[in-house]
A and B are shown apart, each in its own frame.
Chain A
Amino acid sequence: MSTIHTVLPLIVVLPLLGAFSSPILDLISRKLKEAWILAISAGTLGVTGYVFYYVFKNGPLLYTMGATNPFGHANFPIRIVWEIDMFNALMALTVAFVSLMAIIYSVEYMKRDTGLEKYYPLILILELGMLGIVVTGDLFNFYVFLEIMSIASYALVAFRNDTWEGIEAGVKYMMVGALASSFILLGIALLYGQYGTLTMAYIAYKMAGHMTTTAKVALALLMAGLLFKSGSVPVHMWLADAHPAAPSSVSAMLSGLVIKAGGIYILARILFSIYGPSINVRTVGWIVIIFACLTLIVGNAMAVVQTDMKRLLAYSSVGQMGYILLGVGIGLAAYGSNVGNLALAGAIYHTVNHALMKALLFLIAGAVIHALGTRNLNDLSGIAKTMPVTSFAFIIGAAAIIGMPPLNGFASKWILYESSALFNPVIGAIAIIGTAFCTAAYVRVIYTFFGRPNSLTMKAKDPGKSMLIPIIILTVAIIVMGLFPWTINKDFMLPAAKALVNQMGYIHTLFAGGV
C-alpha cells in the first residue's frame, strides 16, 4: 500500500479523533484542549494539502475501504469507494483551510461562552462531515456524511441557547433540513433500486445506456434537496435565519463551506459525473440556470434592505450561490463546449473565492459584535476610526465579493460574466444586475464604517491576536489570489472543471483502480 493510501483516510480519521478526544482533554485543561484542536485541524489541512498535491501531480485517486480494489472479492462493486480528482481535492483543501481559520478565531471569540466542551467537537464533526462528502464516491456514504454535517450544523446554529433567535433558527433549519435530506435519501434509494449499486461511477456506467423514468424522478428529488442545501431561491429562507443566529465562527463555516460542500459540490458531482450526457443536459442546465438567476437577483436584492449586518451577509451568500449555480447550469447547458467548460471553471473558482471572502466577512462581523455587542448597521457608524485593521479587512472582503479588480472575486466573476454573455446575453445582463444589488448592499456598510463615530463605536477596538490572525490570513489570501488569476484558472480551475465534465474518466478511474 502506497503512502497516499495510508495518509488519505486521515482526512476523516483526524477530525473524528479530535472531536471525541477533546471533551476528555477539556477535563484536564482548557488550553491543552484548544492546542489539541488546533493541531488536529492543522494536521487535517496538511493531509488535504498532500492529497491535493498528489492528485495535481499524478491524476485521480481511488481508495476502497476494506479491500485492495473497488470490487473486493466479489466481481461487482460492494465496497465503499472514495474517488478523488482535481475538483474534490480542491474542495477538500478549501474546507480544511477555512475550518482551520474558524477554529483559530474561535479560541478568543468563544472565550466568554459556556458549553465549549460541546462546541469544539461539533465544529470538528462539521468539518469531518464536509470532508467526507467531498471525498466519497459512494452515494449512501455521501448521505451519511451529509447527515453528520447537517446535524452538527443544526446544533451549532442553536448553540447560543440563551437567546430565542438561535433556538428558533436551529429548530426551523432542522425541521425543513430533515425534509430536504429525506428527499435526497429517497432519490438515492430510487437509484439503488434501479441500478443495484451505490458506487457513483458504477451508477454512471450502468445509466449510460439505460436512462429510466425512475432515474429522472430520483434526479428531481436529489436536485430539489441539494438546491435547498445550497440555499437556492426559493428554498433559501432557512439560510437567512440560520446563518446570522449562529456564532460568527460557525457562520463563517456555514456560509463559506457548508452550502458548498453539502450543496453545490455534490449537486455538480451528481449532475456531471453520474447523469452527465445520459440525460438531456440542455433541459437540466436550463433548470439550474432558472434557479441561478432567481437566486442571484433575490439574494443580492434582499441584502440591500437589511439593517442587520449578519443577515445582510447571509442574503449576500444566497446571491453569490446564484453565480456559482449559474456557472454549473451553463456548464451543463453548453456541455462539452469551451463556453461550458469556462463557465464551470468560473463556478469552481467562485466557490473557492466565496469560501474565503464570506469566511472573512463573517469573522469581521463577529469581531464587530464582540467589540460592540450589536450587529445593527445603524449603530456601527464610524467604526473605521476605532477598528482600523478590521475595517481595512472588511473593505478588501467587500470589494472582492462585489468583484472589483484586482481582487480574487473579480477574476471568478469576470469568467462567469464572460461565459454567461457568450452563452446568452440576457443571462449575462441578469448576472450584472445581481452585482449592482450586491454593490449597493456593501457600499452601505462601507459608508457606515467610515461615518462619524458615535459614543458606542468610540469605545470599540480591534480584536486580539487569535481573532486578527485568521482575518489577516484570509485578507492576504484574497489579495494574493487576485494577483495571479490566469495561473490559478489555467492550472487549477480549468483542470478541475475538465475533471468534473470528464464522465468517462470518472468511470475509468473506478475500473482501473486509480493511481
Chain B
Amino acid sequence: MFGYWDALYFIFIFIVSFLLALALDKWAKKSGMGTKEKGEATKVFISGEDPEKEIKGFEHLEGYYTGRNVMWGLTYGLKRVFVVLQREHTGLLTDYVSYLVITTAFIMAVLLIWG
C-alpha cells in the first residue's frame, strides 16, 4: 500500500501531539518556579529581535522585525558549510565551464568503466 497517504493519520498524529504538548505544558507549570502571565515575559521571542523596540533617531535600524535572524542557530551552526558553499559560487564563467567539463569527464569515466 505504500505510495498512498491518508489524511486521517495526520489528524490522529496532530491530536496525540496536541495532547502531549498540553500535558507537558501543565507539568512544566506545576513543577516550575512559576510562569509569568503578564508583562515582558508574554512576548513572543523570535531570534532575539524585539518588534516593539524603537530608539529615537534609529527607527530604521531597530524595531522592524525583518526575519533576517530567523534560523540564526542553523546558519551559525553550519557557518563553515555555508562559507565553503558560498566560496564555490564565484559567478565566474570559467568556473561554470570547468564544472561542466569535470561533470562530463566524471560521467564518461564511470560509464566506460562500469556502464
A217–B85 CB distance below 8 A: no
Closest to B113 in A: A283
Contact of B111 among A284, A345, A411, A415 (CB under 8 A): A284
Sample of 8 A–B contacts (CB below 8 Å): A172-B96, A234-B99, A238-B96, A284-B115, A304-B71, A378-B68, A379-B66, A485-B5
Expressed in whole angstroms, the minimum distance between the Cβ of A121 and any Cβ of chain B is: 28
Expressed in whole angstroms, the minimum distance between the Cβ of A398 and any Cβ of chain B is: 13
- Residue A227 is within 8 A (CB to CB) of chain B in the complex: yes
B82–A224 CB distance below 8 A: no
B67–A287 CB distance below 8 A: no
Closest to B100 in A: A235
Q: How many A-B residue pairs have CB under 8 A?
A: 153
- Residue B114 is within 8 A (CB to CB) of chain A in the complex: yes
- Residue B107 is within 8 A (CB to CB) of chain A in the complex: yes
Inter-chain pairs besides A419-B2, A445-B67, 10 sampled, C-beta below 8 Å: A220-B108, A221-B104, A234-B99, A234-B102, A235-B99, A414-B5, A418-B3, A443-B70, A448-B66, A453-B64
B107–A234 CB distance below 8 A: no
- Residue A298 is within 8 A (CB to CB) of chain B in the complex: yes
Alpha-carbon separation in the docked complex, A346 to B96 (Å): 30
Within 8 A of B (CB), among A267-313: 279-280, 283-284, 287, 291, 298, 301-302, 304-305, 307
With a cutoff of 8 Å between Cβ atoms, the chain A residues found around residue B41 in the complex are: none
- Residue B86 is within 8 A (CB to CB) of chain A in the complex: yes
- Residue B33 is within 8 A (CB to CB) of chain A in the complex: no
With a cutoff of 8 Å between Cβ atoms, the chain A residues found around residue B46 in the complex are: 447
Residue-by-residue, is B3-38 near A (CB-CB < 8 Å gives 1, otherwise 0)?
111010010000000000000000000000000000
- Residue B55 is within 8 A (CB to CB) of chain A in the complex: no
Q: Given A179-B100, A448-B67, is A219 in contact with B82 using a C-beta cutoff of 8 Å?
A: no
Within 8 A of A (CB), among B92-110: 93, 95-97, 99-100, 102-104, 107-108, 110
B100–A180 CB distance below 8 A: yes
- Residue A31 is within 8 A (CB to CB) of chain B in the complex: no
Within 8 A of A (CB), among B63-91: 63-68, 70-71, 74-75, 78, 81-82, 85-86, 88-89, 91
Expressed in whole angstroms, the minimum distance between the Cβ of A12 and any Cβ of chain B is: 30
Alpha-carbon separation in the docked complex, A237 to B81 (Å): 17
Q: Given A235-B100, A406-B7, A451-B67, is A224 in contact with B93 using a C-beta cutoff of 8 Å?
A: no
A452–B100 CB distance below 8 A: no
- Residue A213 is within 8 A (CB to CB) of chain B in the complex: yes
Alpha-carbon separation in the docked complex, A287 to B5 (Å): 30
- Residue A151 is within 8 A (CB to CB) of chain B in the complex: no
With a cutoff of 8 Å between Cβ atoms, the chain B residues found around residue A234 in the complex are: 88, 99, 102-103
With a cutoff of 8 Å between Cβ atoms, the chain B residues found around residue A414 in the complex are: 5
B89–A237 CB distance below 8 A: yes
Binding site for B on A (CB under 8 A): 172, 175-176, 179-180, 183, 213, 216-217, 219-221, 223-224, 227-228, 234-235, 237-238, 240-241, 279-280, 283-284, 287, 291, 298, 301-302, 304-305, 307, 342, 345-346, 377-382, 405-406, 410-411, 414-415, 418-419, 422, 440, 443-449, 451-454, 485-486, 489
With a cutoff of 8 Å between Cβ atoms, the chain B residues found around residue A240 in the complex are: 89
If over half of B's interface residues share one DSSP class (helix, strand or loop), that class is named, otherwise mixed; here it is helix
Q: How many residues on B have C-beta within 8 angstroms of the other chain's C-beta atoms?
A: 43
With a cutoff of 8 Å between Cβ atoms, the chain A residues found around residue B89 in the complex are: 237, 240, 302
A377–B104 CB distance below 8 A: no
Alpha-carbon separation in the docked complex, A437 to B102 (Å): 27
A305–B7 CB distance below 8 A: no
Alpha-carbon separation in the docked complex, A227 to B89 (Å): 18
A489–B4 CB distance below 8 A: yes
Alpha-carbon separation in the docked complex, A302 to B81 (Å): 10
Closest to B107 in A: A220
Expressed in whole angstroms, the minimum distance between the Cβ of B23 and any Cβ of chain A is: 24
Expressed in whole angstroms, the minimum distance between the Cβ of B81 and any Cβ of chain A is: 7
* Residue among B60, B88, B110 with most chain A CB within 10 A: B110
B65–A381 CB distance below 8 A: yes
Alpha-carbon separation in the docked complex, A103 to B75 (Å): 38
Expressed in whole angstroms, the minimum distance between the Cβ of A318 and any Cβ of chain B is: 11
Closest to B14 in A: A405
B104–A183 CB distance below 8 A: yes
Closest to B52 in A: A452
A228–B100 CB distance below 8 A: yes
Contact of B82 among A301, A411, A448 (CB under 8 A): A301
Closest to A211 in B: B115
B115–A422 CB distance below 8 A: no
Expressed in whole angstroms, the minimum distance between the Cβ of B9 and any Cβ of chain A is: 9
With a cutoff of 8 Å between Cβ atoms, the chain A residues found around residue B108 in the complex are: 216-217, 220-221, 224
Expressed in whole angstroms, the minimum distance between the Cβ of B97 and any Cβ of chain A is: 6
